[in-house]
Structure 1
Amino acid sequence: MTNDIPCGSRIYAPENSTRTRSPGSERESPGQLTTTVYYTTVDAAWRPDTVWRYRLGSGESSERVYHEADDRFWLAVGRTRSNAYLLIAAGSSITSEVRYAHAADPTAQFSVVLPRRDGVEYSVEHAVIAGQDRFLILHNDGAVNFTLVEAPVEDPARQRTLIAHRDDVRLDAVDALAGHLVVSYRREALPRVQLWPIGPDGNYGEPEEISFDSELMSAGLGPNPNWDSPKLRVGAGSFVTPVRIYDIDLVTGERTLLKEQPVLGGYRREDYVERRDWAYGDDGTRIPVSIVHRADIEFPAPALIYGYGAYEICEDPRFSIARLSLLDRGMVFVVAHVRGGGEMGRLWYENGKLLDKKNTFTDFIAVARHLVDTGLTSQQQLVALGGSAGGLLMGAVANMAPDLFAGILAQVPFVDPLTTILDPSLPLTVTEWDEWGNPLNDSDVYAYVKSYSPYENVTAQKYPAILAMTSLNDTRVYYVEPAKWVAALRHAKTDGNSVLLKTQMHAGHGGISGRYERWKETAFQYGWLLATADSDRYGGGQGNDLDGAAPA
């Protein structure tokens, strides 16, 4: 529901929709007040499937602009930074299609930029080159790590390549300003940003990467809503560098530090060490490993290894105040950038999904063994952490290499994937088939998922201590998955290590709400991790009487 504030009336979504998902409003033209509202509604599976248009003050009902019939595709609506065009983006996990219309026309008809083709993804940005409207199209058609082209708005198929495909660089995004392009990309498992000036004659100048003073600095764009802004806002941070916000003068290149994340308690960056290491998978693949610890630590030390490895999500270096609690207690924090994520490009993702999903698990095990073999930690001091799809990873490695870990913490873990993706009535199942495969139609997929599903592969063997966290109101990974997994582990295991299940009764997939309640939850988890990895100092984590108190 939307309120029309000047006249006090209420505008309701159409009766055949469920509820408004992501409202968006557009300018009629630069400088004018908004008189048209575009918004999406969702279907019974909470998929944004329809875009509507409402003319404020018209007294008319909302007009349906576009409906997406394919259950795999989700819709979003917005405008270009220039305010010149409206865009409706339809996307599945592997395919996309964009429609555009002139923002100045409140009755505009939308046209397709490029017709959808299975497996081809693209995004669209508007730029003005030598006074001419151009679409900047980032696509993966014949370019697995994406390529950037420009094309006339009136003929998007007539393209000119601006940035060719590279095997070692993954293009993530392009943003257009009045006189510059900003390209976001990945190289060597780190996000980077490049400035590319546009001359008045339409020629592009020399691109320049925005560099920082740390090997593991993650850089990305901040909010830059203004088309003709003389400055670019960027953010940067690392495991030991609190988040910094800069403005960069687009003419002089001068960098102004606007803000740095405050850290209390006398934090000094030089007291900590961050570094990049590389492990080798079973097939010889180099796996990036990020490591952070106090500079005065002695090895082998208690270590926490974290992994995710799904949906092309990148686990980039970032600062965490809470994590200092672990580091200052002598623990090493490690991120295993396993296949299934996107850190090393699109093929890194492709080689960790569908019928190659087991690479995610074997990569994680390889990194864990590397940490032990190099003397950073020992098997008795190593604990693992992962959530959601990373919880699937936790369940898989618990079955495959239980002797490698002292403990495993699985947050809202996706540990019964076969049952879930066999049920298309669940909110995410149909869209998830592009990630895991469709076992309803493919017997090979059924057999493969069953062969690694944590629940299906619990066996009579010794397991490390396990803490599973779930939420009663989680609609992404239902609480029954970790509950039945824990029950199976307790029934089958042959050791005396504890297997604990903690269920939040008033939380969802993202965990409990409220700042202080989240701190308490983090303290509970950190207490268990420390007690399990360093039982001589923080013993008690394996007892069934763990009450959630933070360690002293």
Structure 2
Amino acid sequence: RLLLLHADPVTHRCVLAEAPLGPGTLPEGATPLLHAQEGESFESVEAFAGFVALQLRVGALPAVRMIPRRADGSLDVGAVREIVTGGPLDAVRLEHTPDWEQRSIRCRVDSFLTPPTMIGASLDGGDPFVLQRVEVPGLDASRYVEKRLWATSPDRTRVPISLIARADVVADGTAPVLLHGHGVFGQCLDPLLQPEVLALADRGVVVAVAHVRGGGELGPQWHHDGRRQRRMHSVDDLVACADHLVASGWAAPDRIGAVATGAGAMVVGAAANRAPELFRAVLAETPLVDPLETLLAPEVMLTLEEWTEFGDPAEDETAYRTLRACSPAENIRETEYPAVYAFTALEGTDIPPACAAIWVARLRERVTSDPAERPVLLRVADSLEGGEDLRVEGVAWLLDQLGAADLEG
């Protein structure tokens, strides 16, 4: 049999199907076995003698299911087993399992509080068992909490947020928040144990990731709903996530710092234009914040990839108008803005440093904020070698803006 993953032409949801192995097999002639449900997306399938392992995404997180075979080799979709680990933000990914006859699989588990862990799961049942775990000296996961929140965008789309905080931080509307946004190229910002994130949480900072449309956390359709003419969906989602953090008490309304890198800074910068009162500060690394300046010059960037994501503004009027509407540099208002720290490099980045420079210059021309209280800063290095130092400097500046520089764990 040939196993196929394809999108249903009516619902656009993913389908696992099978067909007799032979030349010219097409999805239309295959027999559907399993349909993805709401909030699910199938990514890959791997076959073994007694079962198949399905890699999917559920609720914006990677997950793995085992589907046993019957005696005749057909799949028993009524006996599907999901690998359950128990953590609210556990990302479970299928690892290489080389033995065709094996009745168990190996998976990697990660989260904000879970060190990279290799687990085994058997077709015969029982709880997953730990095969190997990376030791993280000094880690006490009980000091923190990780949560999944859901914001609601203006078009009623539910947008997931991953959050980590120190366990004693109360959702009383007083905490500083570092909010990360991206939402481009179908990339997923899945939770991962990072010492720098725990260090921020130790200071009482709530760290949140907004999984806005344009990313891949909820499958291909999630990506498509945030690209080209739907680009503003990503901005709507980020603003909704910031609003939800305030409404649910996780964020102080005047202590949200937005962080983004590369093309993700287009989303954050546009959100700051849309609702500048929501953000206290913006930290942007090598930001694509003047997209028309770069996408209209084919020699500047990896434009084929960029045009696939955003459209070609030179040839497509809709793409031009969409990019102009969400361009951070094109839509700055004469009002108070968050403080801004943009850093870039003369070499080692696909995004020209002039992109950040134009944005910063236009912000300085138009915003009415007190520059001593809410400065607009540009940091340009010779290259991105030693870029980690620039990030540390930027985060230190952000903590100062959020009033978190002196907070103690």
Same fold by TM (over 0.5)? yes
- Distance across 1 between alignment mates of 2:293 and 2:99: 47
Higher RCO, 1 or 2 (CA under 8 Å, sep at least 6)? 2
1:202 alignment partner in structure 2:
73
- Distance across 2 between alignment mates of 1:140 and 1:384: 35
Shift of 1:225: 4.7
1:333 alignment partner in structure 2:
207
Shift of 1:449: 1.1
2:58 alignment partner in structure 1:
187
Shift of 1:293: 0.5
- Does 2:155 match 1:283? yes
Match of 1:243 among 108, 113, 116: 116
Shift of 1:199: 4.0
Shift of 1:181: 1.2
1:306 alignment partner in structure 2:
180
Q: 1:222 is aligned with what amino acid? A: E
What aligned pairs does 1:337-352 form with structure 2 within 5 A after superposition? Answer: 337-352=211-226
- Does 2:376 match 1:499? yes
Q: 1:413 is aligned with what amino acid? A: P
Shift of 1:136: 2.2
Shift of 1:236: 0.8
Match of 1:532 among 374, 384, 401: 401
2:250 alignment partner in structure 1:
376
What aligned pairs does 1:44-83 form with structure 2 within 5 A after superposition? Answer: none
- Distance across 1 between alignment mates of 2:348 and 2:51: 43
1:85 alignment partner in structure 2:
none
Q: 2:158 is aligned with what amino acid? A: R
- Distance across 1 between alignment mates of 2:96 and 2:379: 38
2:5 alignment partner in structure 1:
138
2:17 alignment partner in structure 1:
149
Rg comparison, structure with higher value: 1
- Does 2:272 match 1:398? yes
Q: Which 10-residue stretch deviates more, 371-380 or 273-282?
A: 371-380
- Give % identity: 35
Cα distance, 1:392–1:243 mapped onto 2, change above 3 Å: same
2:33 alignment partner in structure 1:
162
- Distance across 2 between alignment mates of 1:338 and 1:457: 21
3-state DSSP of counterpart to 1:537: coil
3-state DSSP of counterpart to 2:149: strand
- Distance across 1 between alignment mates of 2:335 and 2:95: 49
Q: Which 10-residue stretch deviates more, 342-351 or 315-324?
A: 342-351
Cα distance, 1:480–1:179 mapped onto 2, change above 3 Å: farther
Cα distance, 1:275–1:252 mapped onto 2, change above 3 Å: closer
Write out per-residue CA displacement over residues 171-203 of structure 1, whole angstroms, 9 at most, x where no aligned residue: 111122343311111222222100122345212
Match of 1:268 among 124, 130, 140: 140
RMSD over equivalenced CA pairs, Å: 2.5
Write out per-residue CA displacement over residues 107-145 of structure 1, whole angstroms, 9 at most, x where no aligned residue: xxxxxxxxxxxxxxxxxxxxxxxxxxx432212251523
- Distance across 2 between alignment mates of 1:332 and 1:248: 34
Write out per-residue CA displacement over residues 250-284 of structure 1, whole angstroms, 9 at most, x where no aligned residue: 5566643122232223x211111111222222223
1:428 alignment partner in structure 2:
302
Unpaired stretches in structure 1, ≥5 consecutive residues = 1-133, 539-550
- Distance across 2 between alignment mates of 1:468 and 1:409: 6
Match of 1:175 among 30, 46, 56: 46
| Structure number having the greater helix percentage | 2
2:236 alignment partner in structure 1:
362
CA contact (8 A) 2:301 2:351 kept: no
1:478 alignment partner in structure 2:
352
Unpaired stretches in structure 2, ≥5 consecutive residues = none
- Distance across 2 between alignment mates of 1:217 and 1:535: 28
Shift of 1:226: 5.0
Q: Which 10-residue stretch deviates more, 407-416 or 452-461?
A: 452-461
- Distance across 1 between alignment mates of 2:98 and 2:315: 45
TM-score, L = length of structure 1? 0.67
CA contact (8 A) 1:145 1:346 kept: no
1:218 alignment partner in structure 2:
91
TM-score, L = length of structure 2? 0.89
CA contact (8 A) 2:39 2:60 kept: no
3-state DSSP of counterpart to 2:328: coil
